[in-house]
Structure 1
Amino acid sequence: MNILITNDDGIYAQGIYKLACALDNIANIYVVAPDRQRSATGHAITMHEPLRAEKIKFFDKDFQAWAISGTPTDCVKLAIEALIPEKINIVFSGINKGPNLGTDVLYSGTVSAAIEGAILGYPAVAVSLADFKDVDYNYAAEFCMSLAKKILDNPLPEDTLLNVNIPNCKKETLKGVNITTLGVRKYKNSFIERIDPRGQSYYWLGGEIMDEKNHEGTDIHSIKNDAISITPIHFDLTKFDLIEQVKKWNIEIN
């Protein structure tokens, strides 16, 4: 079995290293990831400049690994279509430092990389550790290994991926695994204006999280209650139940 691993935190992040080490127990590992931090790039691809792929030594491992000058989505496309001759069985993206919950998946480079894997026809998983401080990836990596085995025995439908968020707590304190829906996460954006040495304004985007009413069954509720969240996602954004209503508008060419 061959597993492609990528992320958006960069190829030298601890999360991707721990994930690769765990999955090495069950598969041949290929690592193709950004050469630097590329968080919150969404599903961006590089079109107006060349992509550079540098084969590197991946920590203390002998995996085939490439550092890519582009986005997480670039990494998956380039890996599958140009770099790796073998058939890939699963695409893993992560382990991300910080959660990817609710509507934040639309911004996430981690999730977008997994979406690209699904678009290209491969089972795909995005994995995030839902914290930024004092993170311990060990159990999250162990969980990914068991999840990979489950996926091999239970193939995902086409155009589908799993978005996994794992609480940053000890294994003994976890409250189980919930199969969830996406919650709603919005931000009270705060742009901080500053002046550069030339007198020109520039802005830093901050933001205060405002979690909406996220009831039991959502990924946000699950994480808040120390349970692993697994959300099946598909990328057909069509609002099917609105099609007939819009047809009744009788929209015509003027």
Structure 2
Amino acid sequence: MTDSASFLLDKTIAMRILLTNDDGVFAPGLAALGQQLRHLGEVVVVAPATEQSGVGHSITFLSPLTCKSIRRDGQHWAWAVDGSPADCVKLAIAELFKDDPIDLVVSGINNGLNAGVNVLYSGTVAAAIEGAFFGVTSVAVSLEYDPDADFQAAAVIARDVVGGLVKRPEASGRLFNLNIPTAATLSPPHLSIVPMGLAQYGRMYEKRQDPGGRDYYWALWSEPEKPPAEHSDVTALRNGNVTLTPLQFDLTVQPLLESMDDWELEL
């Protein structure tokens, strides 16, 4: 890991970076990451006006989106959108910066890991997926939840990984999920390139009653019935490693699709 003062890429790969998140435009993780990404290029911020954690890939269709300029030190700093993370990326690429193409989308730093099947629920990852829809290299960044989370240290780690990715032609237009455990912000980090874990967490609820006697249910964190795969993001994070996982949004099961021609399904 390099220090921020010495980390400058060649001018030949200077870029315009769209920064967003799901914790909201005033989240500390967004500010820390923006500061570090400016070592890679121009950073434009388009983020939700309020926290949107867990909204997944929702898109606003039934109401208009408002977009407010947020100013700092007397200058425009960010656009705050009253929509989802995916809304922010779609609006930024298709409208706000349609004449100034976005070269890279980075979403985060989320306050809490987005590993394993949690990528399916995550607004942070959904924003990166939306960027990849447009053919833009996109990275979701998440930090293990900690009341004293060191977003500054995590932002340096994220900057180094993102800076390495954009140097690789094979990464162009691809989608990546980066997770940083607390341990990696306290000692020299190690990067593991691993698949997404498929163990299902959080299948339990606690049943309670409100003062009126009506039942309600509170989702609980619970371990999966089967342990996570040894070679996965979940396991590597437990070992204190930073994890990087390439993702894809094409959900088609290609081998099954090809074999289904022989199923003789008819109407």
Structure 1 residues 19 and 61: CA distance shift in structure 2, 3 A = farther
Partner of 1:210: 223
**Conserved in 2, the CA contact under 8 Å of 1:179 and 1:217?**
no
User: Once the 2 structures are TM-superposed, how far is the Cα of residue 157 of structure 1 from its aligned partner?
Assistant: 5.0
| One of 35, 41, 54 as aligned partner of 2:68 | 54
**Conserved in 2, the CA contact under 8 Å of 1:159 and 1:235?**
no
Structure 1 residues 247 and 220: CA distance shift in structure 2, 3 A = same
Partner of 1:72: 85
Structure 1 residues 48 and 191: CA distance shift in structure 2, 3 A = farther
- Using structure 1 for the length normalisation, give the TM-score: 0.90
Partner of 1:127: 141
> Which runs of structure 2 are paired with 1:3-42 in the superposition (5 Å)?
3-42=17-56
* Separation of aligned partners in 2, 1:90 and 1:158: 9
Structure 1 residues 65 and 177: CA distance shift in structure 2, 3 A = same
* Separation of aligned partners in 1, 2:189 and 2:156: 17
Please list the CA deviations of residues 209-234 of structure 1 after superposition, one character each: whole Å capped at 9, or x if unmatched.
Answer: 32443233200011000000000001
Structure 1 residues 31 and 61: CA distance shift in structure 2, 3 A = farther
User: Once the 2 structures are TM-superposed, how far is the Cα of residue 103 of structure 1 from its aligned partner?
Assistant: 0.7
* Separation of aligned partners in 1, 2:214 and 2:161: 48
C-alpha RMSD over aligned residues: 2.1
Partner of 2:3: none
* Separation of aligned partners in 2, 1:202 and 1:82: 45
> Which runs of structure 2 are paired with 1:189-228 in the superposition (5 Å)?
189-190=204-205, 192-195=207-210, 199=212, 201=214, 203-211=216-224, 212-228=226-242
| One of 109, 126, 140 as aligned partner of 2:123 | 109
* Separation of aligned partners in 2, 1:172 and 1:195: 42
User: Once the 2 structures are TM-superposed, how far is the Cα of residue 152 of structure 1 from its aligned partner?
Assistant: 2.3
Structure 1 residues 150 and 62: CA distance shift in structure 2, 3 A = farther
Structure 1 residues 62 and 166: CA distance shift in structure 2, 3 A = farther
| One of 159, 163, 167 as aligned partner of 1:145 | 159
Please list the CA deviations of residues 160-192 of structure 1 after superposition, one character each: whole Å capped at 9, or x if unmatched.
Answer: 311000011254535510001000232123154
SS across alignment from 2:129: helix
SS across alignment from 1:46: coil
**Conserved in 2, the CA contact under 8 Å of 1:130 and 1:223?**
no
Structure 1 residues 224 and 112: CA distance shift in structure 2, 3 A = same
Gaps of 5+ in 1: none
Q: Does 1:118 align with 2:120?
A: no
**Conserved in 1, the CA contact under 8 Å of 2:68 and 2:81?**
yes
Q: Does 1:188 align with 2:198?
A: no
Structure 1 residues 83 and 229: CA distance shift in structure 2, 3 A = same
**Conserved in 2, the CA contact under 8 Å of 1:35 and 1:68?**
yes
Partner of 2:16: 2
- Higher mean Cα deviation, 115-124 or 80-89? 80-89
* Separation of aligned partners in 2, 1:76 and 1:112: 9
* Separation of aligned partners in 2, 1:51 and 1:90: 23
Q: May I ask how many residue pairs the two structures share in their alignment?
A: 250
* Separation of aligned partners in 1, 2:213 and 2:237: 42
Please list the CA deviations of residues 48-87 of structure 1 after superposition, one character each: whole Å capped at 9, or x if unmatched.
Answer: 00100000125x6956411100000000001111112312
- Higher mean Cα deviation, 153-162 or 75-84? 153-162
**What percent identity do the matched residue pairs reach?**
37
* Separation of aligned partners in 2, 1:3 and 1:175: 25
- Higher mean Cα deviation, 111-120 or 163-172? 163-172
